Chains A and B, each alone.
Chain A
Amino acid sequence: MLNLILIGFAASAIAPFIYKPLKNYFGWIAATFPLYIFLSFISRYNQIAGGDIIRETFNWIPSLGINFTFLLDGLSLTFVLIITLIGVVVFLYAGAYMKDYDHADRFFVYIGIFMTSMVGMVISDNMITLFVFWELTSITSYLLIGFNHHKEKSRKYALQALLVTGGGGLALMAGFILLSQISGSLEISSLYDLNETIRNAPTYTAIVILVLIGAFTKSAQFPFQFWLPNAMEAPTPVSAYLHSATMVKAGIYLIARMNHSLGGSALWQDTILIVGAITMLFAATLSFNQMDLKKLLAYSTLSVLGTLTMLLGIGSKLAIKAFFIYIIAHSLYKGTLFLVAGILDHETGTRDVSKLGGLRKHLPITTVIAALASFSMMGIIPLVGFIGKETVYSAILEVDYWGLFLLSISVIANALIVMITILVGFKPFWGKLLSTPKAPHEAPIKMWLGPLALAVLGLLMGIFPNVFIGRLLDQSAISIISEKLELPIKLWHGFNFVLLMSFVTLLLGVGVYYFRTKILHIAQNLKIKNIFKPSEWYEFLLNGMMSFAKLQTKVLQNGYLRNYIIFILVTAVSLASLALFKVENLFRITPDFSITFYESAIVIIIVLATFMVIISDSRLKSIVGIGVVGFTMGIIFIIHSAPDLALTTFAIETLTVILFVLVLYKLPKFLPFSKSYSRLRDIIIASSVGLFMTLVVLYITSIELQSELKKFYTDNSVPGGKGRNVVNVILVDFRAIDTLGEITVLAIAAIGVFALLKLKLEDRNK
């Protein structure tokens, strides 16, 4: 299977080179590529339907357990077949649709990589390779939504979709790593028998939340649903392919795939059920004030995605059966309707439903296609959508306590979908002919052939459900709930409650369609606050981060060195103080030294000089003060019989004062004094740093440091080196070789300096 993935990427890479010369036939050529993959997989149909599972492993990073492990079972085969089959239709269609776009060659690169990654994702058994393919689909989706990049909106919403789905993907990765900590392996199949262990693990809740965030963002479940309608900025083939038939189902695929190992707990099942139900109803109601063909379809897609999620949450045999039929039915009719919307847009120049009507004479074939797909979407016998809706209803009815409630909201949601279907599938074609920006005419064969095939397939599947779906159903169910379903699929179940509900849905939908302007009017009077719109949260977060970033530039990163140092000092002192206060005996430190009269006199001088530095109003006085502090420090060294140190200090102090004076000479007059507020701040910071350093010094001096070296040097200084100044003896006797080395280095450096000076002089003489 790896070779198919590699072929996929290679084929995408060569697209730009063959696009220009073959532009007029490119749709046909491009379609052979998904077709090839479709045929390669369908050749294993019998084997998989017979209960086999194909596994292949190719090493990538074996030391981390990251390998290309592919697993083909009922679940993944179902998805691969949907992806590639709709791929054939979309590639062919795009050949005509994208003809007038700039960079259409790039479009085929992106969508080719997308399809390959999508196939790679559903057949990956390794969690990390799954994640890699998952993110690749997010990136290609980003590139495709932003394809009309000259539009500001396209760019904005492309980024929004990427941030939401890509971010969710990263959460998913964290969940995967946590999972691998439990099982010790990154293979999903290795988790199958560990359901008990995983559910009892302390990290179980975290894993479930992380994995579900990944799934919900990708499949646009509440509260992440807002990116999907915005993603309709993409060219129509992209909306049909990525944002209705395949990519948005990746999250649902993931839930189904992980159900085996993570499922069974109330947390998992209830979260999925509730989120799915909310999305189903919420999304359907949002479609009310839409007039754009694609937006309408997007909201209905959201609602269906919610339904699918809810079915997984129910998790009964019947629900899994409904899940499969519904997912196949939806991919077929929704893909078709999107493509029909694309044809309408392409041939008439508008996507506004209110401007479309009576086109059946101009677009006869499209009218037929739209009708077939719409009947399936509305759930009318004998199309596959009918079976889908029937099984969904009966699965919902089985739920304890909540069954009737869930059924009623799903009837409402489906009635709204019926309304959408009438708007998209019938209104443009029937009634009075309305004038459109472009004179309408029938689409070229490349654009109607694919949708027609999908629509007819929907009809055939409805009439012969067992031929098309039945055989793979049991194997797929095993992948999700590890049981066979043994529930045959039938088109006709007789007159029963569920059938009645189907009728109610249809009637309600038609009713809503006729009264929609009135209902909308009422709804608009109930003003819904922005808090209930998750897209506002997204904007709020984005803007909040922006203003934080700007604020910090003003406050912290203002270029003043003194502010930087204040920040560093405050952080360092507070960190260290936190550590220091953990010491119990800190306040019982008794430094072991006696203070002489001279010392206290010197200290008083130092303190006075310091005050002089602070309060003086001329620079010169301050510098004199600093000098006094330095020199008195030197005197302390003398008292403690370290004349060499004292000499060094005096030299450095003298130099510093001279340098200061030299600099002062160049500086302007000392005019603006700091404000009392900043003075207060400086006092607090300075005294806390001082206090901290004092405490540290006191603590250090209260501890006797052990040192063998100290003892050795003091013991051997006189007998070994004939000298009483230990430091000097160390320098010239004990470590004489080191000193020699240092002198040599200095000498070499001096020669270098001399050479440089000489060269400079020569230059000047020239």
Chain B
Amino acid sequence: MLNSLQDLYHIIPLLIVSGGILVSIIVEMYSKDSEKILFALSILVFGAAGLFSLYSVNNVSILFNGMLATGGNVNVFSFIFNIGAFIVTLLSADYIRKYGTYYGEYYIILQSSVLGMMLMAGAKDLFIIFIGLELMSISFYVLAGLNRKRYNANEASLKYFLLGAFATGFIVYGIGLIYGTAQTTSIDILTVRFPQLTGNLLFLAGVLLFLVGFTFKIAAFPFHMWVPDVYQGSPTVVAGLFSTGGKAAAFSAILVTLAALFNGNVGSLFTPYLIFVSALSMIYGSIVAISQDDIKRMLAYSSISHAGYLAIGLAAGNSEGTAGIIFYLAAYSFMNLGAFGIVALIEGENETNLSIASYAGLAKRNPALAALLSIFMFSLSGIPPFAGFFGKYYVFFAAIKSGLTWLALIGILSSVISVYFYLRIVVLMYFKDQGEEVIPSKSAMGMVGVVLSAILVVLLGVFPGSIINLISSFL
């Protein structure tokens, strides 16, 4: 319930995005030139919501009878989602024109997926998490099939929907069991009562099902099968959003719901499961990525292995782990979006130039793009001083602090393997002459998006201290 006008002030980012959706629907209905207007509107909405989230990061409060939290890390997440979507929008402008697949709903659905993510991060009740999750997921299923005239886009969309619905089933089942045993869906009450409830097998089964469902959503082993197919079939810019915003939102939901698990109060109940997911995702993702010839599939497997690194933070189960995950997500979102953005720029009409071989000799033809992609690849492989390194450092640090040294070592081992496939692209771009003529599309907006990601990656890498301090201060 709304208690005062002050509450409205706290949810301004949410209001901006939901207002944006409503206005977009109306514009789409009545405007002849909706493509340009909606693009500008989305830029405005995401930019404003993202910046306002950062501006009001210290206004921590809980609203609507303990249903929604704002401020603190909720706003950090909101910043990641909105700025991520801001970059995706910039990349989309020319990309969808290139494909001739502009449909009015594109920007509207993009905004509603971001609204879903924001709800997940701010949720204080399992139902809000569910609503946010479904808002995001259903938007994603539609976005995956955006190129509706292509077979593999349809296949991607359908596979994503069927498997996603399967995972949602797990989550609902889990929520049901949790509610049945704990008599509440309020996350704060659950957190307080967590230690007593762990004696109840059904409650534990509920939490486990919840985790299993979200293992799917974060794209981790063993529920990763959809990832390569969906990324490959979806429009490249949208796949970028799946792998960043989608993953970040799912992690935020896990962190929010199982706060009790990650404050070190409840020992290590689910640690074996989280270790299993984390270790196998890292190793599996890294090894399989080596043999990929399609760059989007390579990035898909890389996304699986990054889910593993992030899950190290969950397995560590301490506040360092939580802070590490949030920082890692920020770093990962921007570096991965940048990489997907460049793939979108290189991609030709009819989904050509997606093989890794198309990147040969890029440094000669377009040194700026090659340099930017190198930054993203170095950062993804975790080489200092880019953002990716501190993300990894922080989760490894958390793991070693909780005595999971060997898990950190597996992470290190798979980082070594990952250097191989990330740098393969850098090698191709700089050290090899081109085989075929590949001309990147000229897109001023796309370049702005990619450069913005690169700036954020470098900034997070050179000045990680202030961000980490900010995140830790809210834990």
Instruction: Name A's B-contacting residues (CB within 8 A).
Output: 59-64, 66, 128, 131-132, 135-136, 139, 142, 146, 149-150, 154-155, 158-159, 162-163, 166-167, 170-171, 173-174, 177-178, 181, 203, 206, 542, 545-546, 548-550, 552-553, 556-557, 559, 561, 563-565, 567-568, 571-572, 575-576, 579-580, 583, 696, 699-700, 703, 705-709, 752, 755-756, 759
A546 in contact with B291 (CB, 8 Å): yes
* Chain A min CB distance to B210 (Å): 12
Q: Which among B7-15, B162-170, B188-196 touches the partner chain? A: B162-170
The contact of A155 among B208, B225, B420, B427, by CB within 8 Å, is B427
- Chain B residues near A206 (CB-CB < 8 A): 405
Complex CA distance for A131 and B384, rounded to whole angstroms: 9
Interface string of B430-455 (1 = CB under 8 A from A): 11110000000000000000000000
Select from chain A the residue with minimum beta-carbon distance to B158. Answer: A561
Q: Are B400 and A178 neighbours in the complex by a CB distance under 8 Å?
A: yes
User: From A106, which residue of chain B is reached at the shortest CB distance?
Assistant: B430
Contact of A61 among B201, B228, B383, B464 (CB under 8 A): B464
Given contacts A146-B431, A166-B416, contact A549 B469 (CB under 8 A): no
Q: Does B29 contact A (CB under 8 A)?
A: yes
- CB of A64 within 8 A of CB of B468, answer yes
| Docked-complex contact B433 and A62, CB < 8 angstroms | no
Contacts of A162 in B (CB 8 A): 419, 423
Residue of A nearest to B417 (CB): A545
> What are 10 A-B contacts defined by CB distance under 8 Å?
A128-B393, A139-B383, A155-B431, A159-B427, A203-B405, A542-B420, A549-B290, A552-B284, A568-B222, A700-B180
Interface: B223 (CB within 8 A): yes
Of B222, B228, B396, which one neighbours A567 at CB under 8 angstroms? B222
Q: Are B423 and A177 in contact (CB under 8 A)?
A: no
Task: Evaluate contact between A545 and B212: CB separation under 8 angstroms.
Answer: no
A290 to chain B, nearest CB (A): 26
A-B contact sample (8 more), CB < 8 A, given A567-B225, A572-B212, A579-B205? A62-B465, A131-B384, A155-B427, A155-B431, A545-B287, A557-B225, A564-B225, A568-B166
CA separation between A696 and B291, bound complex, in Å? 41
Q: Is B148 in contact with chain A by the CB < 8 A criterion?
A: no
Chain B residues proximal to chain A, CB less than 8 Å: 25, 29, 159, 162-163, 166, 170, 177, 180-181, 183, 201-202, 204-205, 208-209, 212, 216, 222-223, 225-226, 228-229, 273, 284, 287-292, 383-385, 389-390, 393-394, 396-397, 400-401, 405, 408-409, 412-413, 415-417, 419-420, 423-424, 427, 430-433, 464-465, 468-469, 472
- If A178-B400, A568-B166 touch, whether A759 touches B383 (CB-CB below 8 Å) is no
**Contact yes or no, A583 B416, CB < 8 A:** no
Asked if residues B222 and A571 are in contact (CB atoms below 8 Å), the reply is yes
- A708 to B184 alpha-carbon distance, docked (Å): 11
The one of A135, A545, A759 that contacts B384, using a Cβ cutoff of 8 Å:
A135
Contact B420 A159 (CB under 8 A): yes
B418 CB to nearest A CB, Å? 11
Q: What is the bound-complex CA distance between A163 and B183, given in angstroms? A: 53
Q: Which residues of B contact A62 (CB under 8 A)?
A: 465
A708 near B183: Cβ-Cβ < 8 Å = yes
Given contacts A567-B225, A568-B223, A699-B202, whether A177 and B465 have CB atoms under 8 Å apart is no
Q: Is the CB of B412 within 8 A of A173?
A: yes
- Residue pair A63, B427 in contact (C-beta under 8 Å): no
In angstroms, how far is the closest chain A Cβ from the Cβ of B49?
A: 23
Q: How far is the CB of A748 from chain B (nearest CB, A)?
A: 10
Q: Are A163 and B166 in contact (CB under 8 A)?
A: no
Of the candidates A136, A149, A583, A756, the one whose C-beta lies within 8 Å of that of B430 is A149
Least CB distance, A609 to chain B, in whole angstroms: 23
B166–A565 touching, CB < 8 Å:
yes
**A568 touching B208 by the CB < 8 A rule?**
no
The answer to whether B468 and A61 touch across the interface, beta carbons within 8 angstroms, is yes
Chain B residue with the shortest CB-CB distance to A709? B183
Bound-state CA distance A602–B454 (Å) is 64
Known: A159-B423, A568-B166, A579-B204. A546 touches B290 (CB 8 A): yes
> Shortest CB–CB separation between residue A17 and chain B, in angstroms?
15
The answer to whether B288 touches A174, judged by C-beta atoms less than 8 angstroms apart, is: no
**In contact, B472 and A63 (Cβ under 8 angstroms):** yes
Of B29, B288, B292, B412, which contacts A755 at CB under 8 A?
B29
Contacts of B424 in A (CB 8 A): 159
Instruction: Kindly list chain A residues whose C-beta atoms are within 8 Å of the C-beta of B409.
Output: 171, 174
B208 to chain A, nearest CB (A): 6
Return the contact of A178 from the options B181, B289, B405, B420 (Cβ within 8 A). B405
B224 to chain A, nearest CB (A): 9
State how many angstroms separate the Cβ of B393 from the closest Cβ of chain A.
7
With a cutoff of 8 Å between Cβ atoms, the chain B residues found around residue A545 in the complex are 287, 290, 417
Contact residue among A552, A576, A707 (Cβ-Cβ distance under 8 Å from B288)? A552
* Chain B residues positioned under 8 Å from A171 (CB to CB): 409, 412
Give the docked Cα–Cα distance between A553 and B297 (Å). Answer: 11
The complex places the Cα of A59 from the Cα of B223 at a distance, in Å, of 43
Is there an interface contact between A576 and B208, defined as CB atoms closer than 8 Å? yes
A565 pairs with B416, CB closer than 8 A: no
Given A155-B431, A170-B412, A699-B202, the answer on whether A177 and B208 have CB atoms closer than 8 Å is no
Contact assessment for A705 and B180 in the assembled complex, using a CB-CB cutoff below 8 Å: yes
The answer to whether B228 touches A557, judged by C-beta atoms less than 8 angstroms apart, is yes
Nearest Cβ on chain B to A54's Cβ, whole angstroms: 25
Docked Cα-Cα span, A700 to B291, in Å, equals 46
Q: How far is the CB of A682 from chain B (nearest CB, A)?
A: 17
CB-contact partner of B163 in A136, A542, A568, under 8 A: A568
Decide: A170 and B400 in contact? CB cutoff 8 A.
no
Query: A759: nearest residue on chain B (CB-CB)?
Result: B29
B364 → A minimal CB distance (Å): 11
A550 to B423, CA, bound (A): 20
Q: How far is the CB of A309 from chain B (nearest CB, A)?
A: 23
- Residues of A contacting B420 in the complex (Cβ-Cβ under 8 angstroms): 159, 163, 542
A132 to B378, CA, bound (A): 13
Task: Give CA–CA (A579, B166) in the complex, Å.
Answer: 21
Q: What separation, in Å, do the CA atoms of A553 and B229 have in the docked complex?
A: 11
Rounded to whole angstroms, the CA-CA distance of A567 and B212 in the bound complex is: 13
Question: Closest residue to A139 on the B side, CB-wise?
Answer: B383
B465 touches A63 (CB 8 A): yes
Determine whether the beta carbon of A576 is less than 8 Å from that of B408.
Answer: no
Q: A565 touches which one: B163, B222, B393 (CB < 8 A)?
A: B163
A699 to B203, CA, bound (A): 12
Which residues of B have CB within 8 Å of A61? 390, 464-465, 468
Q: Which residues of chain B have C-beta atoms less than 8 A from A136's C-beta? A: 384
Complex Cα gap A166–B432 (Å): 22
In the complex, the answer to whether B400 meets A174 with C-beta atoms within 8 Å is yes
Cα A62 to Cα B29 with chains together (Å): 54
Name the one of A158, A174, A568, A705 contacting B408, with C-beta atoms under 8 angstroms: A174
A159 to B381, CA, bound (A): 14
Task: For B400, give its contact among A155, A159, A177, A549 (CB under 8 Å).
Answer: A177
Q: Complex: how many Å from CA A170 to CA B413?
A: 8
Is there an interface contact between B291 and A699, defined as CB atoms closer than 8 Å?
no
Q: Tell me, rounded to whole Å, the shortest Cβ–Cβ distance linking B126 to chain A.
A: 16
Q: How far is the CB of B300 from chain A (nearest CB, A)?
A: 10
Considering the chains assembled together, what is the distance between the CA atoms of A705 and B464 in angstroms? Answer: 48
A60-B465, A174-B409, A564-B226 known; A576+B287 contact, CB < 8 A: no
* Cβ contacts under 8 Å, A559 to chain B: 229
**A149 to B412, Cβ gap below 8 A?**
no
In the bound complex, residues from chain A placing their C-beta under 8 Å from that of B417 are 545
Question: When A552-B288, A579-B208 are in contact, do A173 and B393 touch as well, CB less than 8 Å?
Answer: yes
Contact B225 A556, beta carbon cutoff 8 Å = yes
User: Are the C-beta atoms of A132 and B225 separated by less than 8 Å?
Assistant: no
C-alpha spacing A522/B288, complex, angstroms: 45
Question: Chain B contacts of A707 at CB under 8 A?
Answer: 183
Asked if A550 and B202 make an inter-chain contact with CB atoms under 8 angstroms apart, the answer reads no
B327 to chain A, nearest CB (A): 11
Residue of chain B at shortest CB distance from A147: B431
Neighbouring A residues of B468 by C-beta, 8 Å: 61, 63-64
- Chain A residues, CB < 8 A from B223: 568, 571
Which residue of B is nearest A559, CB measured? B229
Q: Which of B181, B383, B396, B400 contacts A705 (CB 8 A)?
A: B181
